[in-house]
Amino acid sequence: MLFNPDRFLLIAGPCSLESEQVCRAVGKTLQKLGREHHELNIIFKGSFDKANRTSLKGERGTGMEEGLKLLALMKKDFGFPVLTDIHERAQAESVAAVCDVLQIPAFMCRQTDLLLAAAATGKVVNVKKGQFLSPQEMEFVIAKLKQGKAAEIWQTERGTTFGYQNLVVDMRSFSIMKQFASPVIFDATHSVQLPGAAGGKSGGQREFVGPLAKAALGAGADGLFIETHPDTANAISDGPNMIPLVELPNLIEECLAVWKATREQ
């Protein structure tokens, strides 16, 4: 299994794969973190297509062919398992040929055919809880993946729609979702998004990433999903809620301390 309960699961990388330069910069920082903290289980993530941009004007990324080349490069040069999103059934087989984890986007977490196609690849499936879904309803999402004989299932909390252009994280979600016998990850950066609140694109409040991440770990989350970028102001997507790469090591050290303290109790 790719998930190890004795190690801190960290899914990290840029929102969009964007370029080799960005991927390598993030990879070097993650590699250094892994050398310094052997309890980390690091998965490199990046999206080849931001298919649910607020506006048609939003950049969507590299596309699948170029994106998979970048992910293959990260596996080869840095040794990380890699994760990316799929949005269509037809993408599952090609993505599984490169990636160790197939991710189902939050907006698509109830799409039965997409879930079954991901499960059929034999790879790990990480499904994000939809912003519109209660934690209790994830039972039925997980059941679909189990029926599809998914080799390994992860579930990720990424906040719940709270009025217009806002999300809130219910810390009870981690205890509830753990009942479905799959690791529960907290998406610390998408949970501080302000969807559609920045004039045709999403805003964000990255100042709350740290407090929410540590609270989630204290509440029982098995790991974190964190997007990071060396130049957030010029990232093509989710800049306002990504963590600047230079700040990532300190954040992870703080989160590791909470994870260790929680496990000792």
pLDDT at 197 over 80: no
Please report which helix (H) or strand (E) contains residue 242, including its range. Answer: none
Q: 106, 102, 219: which is closest to 159 by C-alpha?
A: 106
- Residue 265's pLDDT band, with cuts at 50, 70 and 90, is confident
Got the DSSP string for 13-66? E-SB---HHHHHHHHHHHHHHHHH-TTEEEEEE-BS--TT-SSTTS---S-HHH
Of 43-52, 143-152, 236-245, the poorest mean pLDDT is in 43-52
Mean predicted lDDT score pLDDT of the chain:
95
What pLDDT score does 196 carry? 82
Q: Is residue 2 part of a domain?
A: no
Average pLDDT for residues 210-224, to the nearest whole number?
98
Q: Report the alpha-carbon distance of residue 84 to residue 96 in Å, rounded.
A: 10
For a pLDDT cut of 90, what percent of the chain falls above it? 89
Residue 3 lies in a domain: no
Tell me if 38 is assigned to some domain: yes
Q: How many residues does the chain have?
A: 265
Band of the pLDDT at 60, cuts 50, 70, 90?
A: confident
In this model, does residue 94 exceed pLDDT 80? yes
Q: How many structural domains is the chain composed of? A: 1
CA dist 152 and 173 (Å) reads: 20
Please report which residue ranges of 79-147 form alpha helices under DSSP H. Answer: 92-96, 112-120, 138-147
At residue 54, the pLDDT reads 66
| Pair of tokens at residue 152 | 């390994």
Both tokens assigned to 203? 């805003």
Inform me whether the pLDDT recorded for 263 exceeds 70.
yes
pLDDT of residue 252: 98
DSSP E strand boundaries for 70-222: 82-85, 101-104, 124-128, 152-157, 160-161, 167-168, 184-187, 193-194, 203-204
27 is a domain residue: yes
- Whole-number Å distance between alpha carbons of 105 and 5: 24
pLDDT at 56: 64
> What CATH number does the domain containing 235 carry?
3.20.20.70
> Which residue range is the domain that position 212 belongs to?
8-264
DSSP state of 131: T
- Distance from the Cα of residue 8 to its chain's centroid: 14
Residue 112 inside a domain? The answer is yes
User: Which of 114, 22, 4, 120 has the alpha carbon at shortest distance from 71?
Assistant: 22
- 84 versus 201: the higher-pLDDT residue is 84
- Average pLDDT value for residue range 60-75: 94
Q: Is the pLDDT of residue 58 over 70?
A: no
pLDDT band at 57; cut points 50, 70, 90: low
Tokens, residue 140: 């039925």
Q: Is residue 99 within 8 Å of residue 71, measured between CB atoms?
A: yes
pLDDT at position 59 is 73
Of 7-16, 115-124, 199-208, the least confident: 199-208
Look at residue 1 and tell me if it is in a domain. Answer: no
Q: Can you tell me the mean pLDDT for 211-222?
A: 98
For residue 99, tell me if it sits in a domain.
yes
Q: What is the pLDDT of residues 6-55, one digit of tens each?
A: 999 999 999 999 999 999 999 999 999 999 999 999 999 999 987 775 66
